[in-house]
Structure 1
Amino acid sequence: MRLRLAVAAALALTVTACAPSTSAPAETATDGGPKTGALKVWLFDEPNRAPKEAVVNEAIAEFTASHPDTSVDIQYIAVDTRSERFKGAFNDPASAPDVVEYGNTDLPEYAAAGGLADLGPTLQGWSEGADLSADAKASATYEGTLLGVPWYVGVRALYYRTDVFSELGLKPPATLAELTTTATTIRAKKPEMFGIAVGGKYTYGAMPFVWANGGELTEINSAAARQGLKSYTDLIAENNCPPQNCADLTGGKTVDLFASGKAAMGILGNFNRAAVDAGAAKGKYAVLPLPGVTAGSVAPAFAGGNNLGIMKNAQRPALAADFLTLLAGKKYQAKMYDAMGNLPTLKSASDEIAAKDTFVKPFIDTIAAGTKFVPLNPGWGKVDASAVLPTMIEKVATGKATVDQATDEAAKQIDEALTK
């Protein structure tokens, strides 16, 4: 799920229960149910909900105009309590919504609970469905079954200070090796700045280094993964971003460092644009895809984002499929970008946005080059909860463990979490 979805203050919402339909819950989202009545929808709340709500209300108006005697009951649920809400809905068909928004990293947990309907038939009957990339569909697929339609995606790319690069006569790095030499050059010539802001707790910044070198998270102690980890942790050093400053930095803190002018480069998301423009770096930066190992290649980015799904306990599955495909369609993906900055998952929508907003192009190019995802296994939640990857990175960065020692320990923990 995209990281910026942390909610500052959760709204106290109550679930409005509706009487269950006489039809049984459907196995797939196109199987029957009443074609009229109240469609129940759960969407994530936002720190600033108004722009999102305006787009959703527009979609509701269009939907109800084409579906007589139908209403749409939207509940905006707090992100930090979503797991409990979903578990309750999985266990109580009468209280289950029909359409839901959920983070793509939530998929394994919800799939293992058996709470989501198969959307394969819905996608096959949806004219715009063919516009979804294979990577996007893979992030919503569990054990061969499509359990969601990707609604938006968020990826990271390399932000860099154009004024600093111009002053020092530097070119944007074309490889990860050049990224390191460029960062150390900047630090040497401008000791008040970090060459690139990197953090020991910034796993989404480190993952592309592992993937670019051919490593995988499930084989984190392989030679390829170790090379990628080394290339990242080598940046947490006195000649770039000293361990005493950067070993415990989170992704959010790296955004702050770049935005405030204290770092010449940063691996930031398309969703961090507003934060950067609110700081000293405004008007002094550009973005390019994070380069890979070889010139012309792009380091695979983690594809965070949210999906729209249909509950297996939905009382109006066919009606839910109609609303889902409307809200997930090109028209409303484009409107959600204008309102919230959410990158579309439909290629036609992203192409149009990139044509009118040049800032988006590096992120679209990053997606087009191929993205990666965390293992779709319910046990991955244990890996996250135990901070396995950030602990591994911090130990290497602070010299508490060698790359080999830290990755062997992490590999054991990952194996245990994914196999139990």
Structure 2
Amino acid sequence: MAHSSTWRKRGLAATGLAAAAALALAGCSGGSDGGSGDDGAAEDVTIEFWGWVPGLEDAVAEWNENNPAIQVEFFRMTGDDGDKIPAAIDAGTAPDVVQMSAHSLPGHIINNRLTDLTPYVDGLAEDFTASSWGTVSFGDAVYGIPQDSGPTGLMYRTDIFEEYGIEVPTTWEEYVQAGRDLKAANPDIYIAQFSPNEAGLWMETVWQNEGSFFQIEDDAWDVTVNGPESLEVAELWQTLLDEDLVKVVEMWTPEYWAEVNAGTIATINYAAWFPVLLEESAESTSGNWAVADTPLFSGKNTAGESGGSVNVVTANSDHPEQAVEFITWLNSSESGVEYLIDGGVFPSAVTGLSSESLLQPSEFYGGQVINEVFADAAERVPGTWTAGPTHDLTVNALKDEFGRVANGEITFEEALDNVQDMTVEELEAMGLNVAS
């Protein structure tokens, strides 16, 4: 397959996994029983917790003060600490609780590195948004507690829209037309950017369209990278690119931020964690931005999502019940969620969506309470997304193929077909069942 050598076998030790591992995940009967330690309620225990959200030290201090029987020792993750976790679990030296990306769960589940939390989370689903709970649920089993999420909103330049008399688009059809109107009025301004190196911009729109890169079908993985929902997104972006309505520039680079500051990019449709980065990197544009709902697909009222992080209990833990008690408090109680919001994350818990701390006006966005838009979006994200064992590899492959799209070598549809084939090949090489 084209370009497959750039991403295949990146650190996956799962090449020799038996097909039974896929059956365990698909049927949700796999995972650890939480170790052999005594989980009795009378036992005083210490839980080791690794995470990266700013301010978690204060949250842990409050928990420890109020829960002398379940003490938590916190370690702040930096750099490559997350990369050390798989080996630590395999060696039996990992902490009880770890913060990690929700997209990484399937790989760890297949390798029996996580505890099935189902016995400890009865009734907890209603405390979280449907989409975030969906990221930790596989069949009837639950392998984590959601912590934060990334519902999408449309950040747009109010001054540009006002100057050229363009209405803020509410559908993707209107969005394309707004791009055409902008191009006609000023060919130096683009409705958005196309960044091959940022697959999250693609993933969030597929998710909004009720699609996914993977599904679990009976005892097999069904790869849907080029599914109908993705193809509809491909058609949208192909139109934007073919008509030169988007600026091709790699995101996160100095060149990208220069374009944003220069006012050549009129909208950025991205996750709830992005506005603060925009404010930090485009101070000169303060007061010229607002946030609207992400444009809708025809006949749908769904919002997009980029995914978030979760807290998991490793297979090493001798005290899964107490560990879940702590991370449930941290991620769903009013006091715990306040620490997360103060740390700068957008909460997955429903209670956080109405938090006064979250719903504050922003001077950069013209005094708008922008998180009202993101909070509404969080409850409209479809619970259709399923992460797969090769999520990172698939995303890297998309970036490679989107680079070829940007160069005019292939179309978006051809890129999706290529990555579909690559992903199926990789799963089969891992010894996993793949739906035909």
Structure 2 CA distance for partners of 1:340 and 1:66, relative to 1, 3 Å: closer
* Larger displacement relative to structure 2 (335-344 or 358-367): 335-344
Q: Does 1:87 align with 2:86?
A: yes
Tell me the CA shift for residue 182 of structure 1: 0.7
1:123-138 to 2 correspondences below 5 Å? 123-124=121-122, 130-138=126-134
The answer to whether the Cα contact below 8 Å between 1:107 and 1:142 also exists between their aligned partners in 2 is: no
The residue aligned with 2:46 is 38
Aligned residue among 306, 310, 317 for 1:307: 310
Tell me the CA shift for residue 96 of structure 1: 2.4
Structure 2 CA distance for partners of 1:192 and 1:159, relative to 1, 3 Å: same
The residue aligned with 1:272 is 274
The residue aligned with 2:117 is 119
Structure 2 CA distance for partners of 1:156 and 1:198, relative to 1, 3 Å: farther
Tell me the CA shift for residue 205 of structure 1: 1.4
Structure 2 CA distance for partners of 1:29 and 1:383, relative to 1, 3 Å: farther
Distance 1:68 1:209 in 2: 45
Tell me the CA shift for residue 133 of structure 1: 2.7
Aligned residue among 331, 350, 371 for 1:347: 350
Q: Does 1:283 align with 2:287?
A: yes
| TM-score for the superposition, normalised by structure 1 | 0.79
Structure 2 CA distance for partners of 1:152 and 1:334, relative to 1, 3 Å: same
Tell me the CA shift for residue 179 of structure 1: 0.7
Tell me the CA shift for residue 147 of structure 1: 0.9
The residue aligned with 2:427 is 418
Structure 2 CA distance for partners of 1:29 and 1:69, relative to 1, 3 Å: closer
The residue aligned with 1:241 is 246
Distance 1:174 1:372 in 2: 22
The answer to whether the Cα contact below 8 Å between 2:398 and 2:415 also exists between their aligned partners in 1 is: no
Distance 2:258 2:152 in 1: 15
Q: Give the 3-state SS of the residue equivalent to 1:184 in structure 2.
A: helix
Tell me the CA shift for residue 374 of structure 1: 5.6
The answer to whether the Cα contact below 8 Å between 2:96 and 2:313 also exists between their aligned partners in 1 is: yes
Q: Give the 3-state SS of the residue equivalent to 1:350 in structure 2.
A: helix
The answer to whether the Cα contact below 8 Å between 1:196 and 1:266 also exists between their aligned partners in 2 is: yes
Q: Which has the higher helix share?
A: 1
Distance 1:98 1:224 in 2: 38
Distance 1:71 1:224 in 2: 46
Query: Where do 5+ consecutive residues of structure 2 fail to align?
Result: 1-31, 214-222, 362-368, 430-436
Tell me the CA shift for residue 418 of structure 1: 3.2
Aligned residue among 221, 228, 231 for 1:226: 231
1:9-408 to 2 correspondences below 5 Å? 26=34, 31-32=39-40, 35-44=43-52, 52-53=54-55, 56-68=56-68, 71-83=71-83, 85-93=84-92, 95-124=93-122, 130-211=126-207, 216-217=212-213, 218-222=223-227, 224-237=229-242, 239-242=244-247, 246=248, 249-250=250-251, 257-258=259-260, 261-278=263-280, 279=282, 280-294=284-298, 297-298=300-301, 300-353=303-356, 356=360, 358-371=369-382, 375-384=386-395, 387-408=396-417
Tell me the CA shift for residue 265 of structure 1: 0.8
Question: One-letter code of the match for 2:374?
Answer: F
Identity value in percent: 20
Deviations 1:265-289 (A, max 9, x none): 1123221222222323221111122
Structure 2 CA distance for partners of 1:97 and 1:250, relative to 1, 3 Å: same
The answer to whether the Cα contact below 8 Å between 2:353 and 2:375 also exists between their aligned partners in 1 is: yes
Q: Give the 3-state SS of the residue equivalent to 1:59 in structure 2.
A: helix
Distance 2:189 2:171 in 1: 22
Tell me the CA shift for residue 355 of structure 1: 5.2
Structure 2 CA distance for partners of 1:294 and 1:30, relative to 1, 3 Å: farther
| Equivalent residues, number | 378
Structure 2 CA distance for partners of 1:376 and 1:338, relative to 1, 3 Å: closer
Question: One-letter code of the match for 2:317?
Answer: A
Q: Give the 3-state SS of the residue equivalent to 2:153 in structure 1.
A: strand
Tell me the CA shift for residue 30 of structure 1: 9.9
Greater RCO, 1 or 2 (C-alpha within 8 Å, sep 6+): 2
Distance 1:339 1:257 in 2: 31
Tell me the CA shift for residue 300 of structure 1: 4.1
Deviations 1:344-402 (A, max 9, x none): 11212212346555211221222211246764321333323xx2212333333332123
* Larger displacement relative to structure 2 (372-381 or 24-33): 24-33
Structure 2 CA distance for partners of 1:219 and 1:101, relative to 1, 3 Å: closer
* Larger displacement relative to structure 2 (107-116 or 324-333): 324-333
The answer to whether the Cα contact below 8 Å between 2:203 and 2:306 also exists between their aligned partners in 1 is: no
Structure 2 CA distance for partners of 1:151 and 1:294, relative to 1, 3 Å: same
Question: One-letter code of the match for 1:171?
Answer: E
